[in-house]
Amino acid sequence: MAASASRFAAAGLAGALAIPLAIGAAISAEPLLQLETKVPLGDVRGRIDHMAIDLARHRLFVAALGNDSLAVVDLQAQRLDRLINKLPEPQGVGYEPVTDMLYVANARDGSVRLFRGAELSSSGRIELGSDADNIRVDASAGRVLIGHGDGALTILDAATQKKLASVSLKAHPESFQLDASANRIFVNVPNSGAIDVIDGASAKKIASWPTAGRRANFAMALDGAHQRVLVAFRRPPQLGVFNVSDGALITSVPTCGDVDDLFVDAKRDRVYLSCGDGFIDVLAADGTAYRRAARVPTAGGARTSLFVPELDRLLLAVPARGETAAGIWIYRPSP
């Protein structure tokens, strides 16, 4: 791993992505996810939540919830650049490139703190009441969406940071995804045992899909190529595959436990699930279903991740536990 990591650092992120894959028998022997390097997060302690990326500056933003801070990681230099402290339990992070604005959602006081530009200068705050959580940035439509409270999804104008609309839900929203092709928003609402569907134009709920007895639906992704909504459940640990048009459950697949993030690798027709019990599950699309192609051991509590197609890397947030130091573990998919 040391040799691979040094090549990554020497060539920079772009150079690393240009390294050609081996041919012949070496391809079949290569793991589907190769741990490339580990970036230490210094003295970060406690739970780590979600992440976002500033591609132009090769910066990764990490919500260090248990540390009341935001870690800013320089991916090109592979080092912790800085910590932004005194944040009240940051959970969600979103970077909007057009306005060069970073949004950090905080659980303890329900605020969203704003930071702008290369210097990440403090640029105000938005009060959402309580438990500000997941953030999604719709840069093409100039919107920022934030789940919060006992059941709300607030939509902001990215240009002005003003509230455009708020959607009421029956319980606190977890992961949600934007379907740009149909202007819909799919929302996990675990405490109501549902997946809610919101019309993006009217900001009104138009459907609520039952989860067929499955519970704790936290992570979600859209598989556009197959027209499916993928939802990870913790009880039991399964991936539910739903038809995007009507919410019909197509199939379910057992997964590792305590999933908190789920991503589709469209290039390889794969799905990555990061699990707090210390694994990444790699699923491959197989006709109308998905099959487990690999189970990669990681570290206990490492349940949040970020797949960045532009970098072709899966970034895993690993909390400090025992002899394991807090860090960002960078995986290269193959072939």
Tell me the CATH number at 153.
Answer: 2.130.10.10
pLDDT-based confidence at residue 286 (cuts at 50, 70, 90): confident
Beta bridge partners of 252: 240
Q: Residue 119 pLDDT more than 70?
A: yes
29 falls within a domain:
no
Q: Residue 263 pLDDT more than 60?
A: yes
The arithmetic mean of pLDDT across residues 134-154, rounded, is 97
The arithmetic mean of pLDDT across residues 13-31, rounded, is 44
pLDDT > 70: percent of the chain: 91
pLDDT on residue 4:
40
Q: Residue 227 pLDDT more than 90?
A: yes
Q: What is the mean pLDDT of the chain?
A: 92
The arithmetic mean of pLDDT across residues 163-190, rounded, is 97
| Residue range of the domain that includes 181 | 50-210
83 falls within a domain:
yes
124 falls within a domain:
yes
Torsion angle, alpha carbons of 36, 96, 320, 173, to 10: -120
pLDDT on residue 6:
38
pLDDT on residue 48:
98
96 falls within a domain:
yes
The arithmetic mean of pLDDT across residues 245-255, rounded, is 96
pLDDT-based confidence at residue 2 (cuts at 50, 70, 90): very low
- What is the spatial distance between Cα 86 and Cα 72, in angstroms, rounded to a whole number? 14
17 falls within a domain:
no
pLDDT on residue 29:
63
Residue 197, CA distances (Å) to 4, 170, 176, 210 in order: 43, 13, 10, 11
Residue-wise pLDDT for 204-220, tens only, equals 999 999 998 999 999 99
314 falls within a domain:
no
Residue-wise pLDDT for 45-86, tens only, equals 999 999 999 999 999 999 999 999 999 999 999 999 999 999
Contact call for residues 304 and 285 (beta carbons, < 8 A): no
277 falls within a domain:
no
CB atoms within 10 A of CB 56: 10
Least confident stretch, 4-8, 41-45, 135-139: 4-8
194 falls within a domain:
yes
Q: Residue 5 pLDDT more than 80?
A: no
Q: How many domains does the chain have?
A: 1
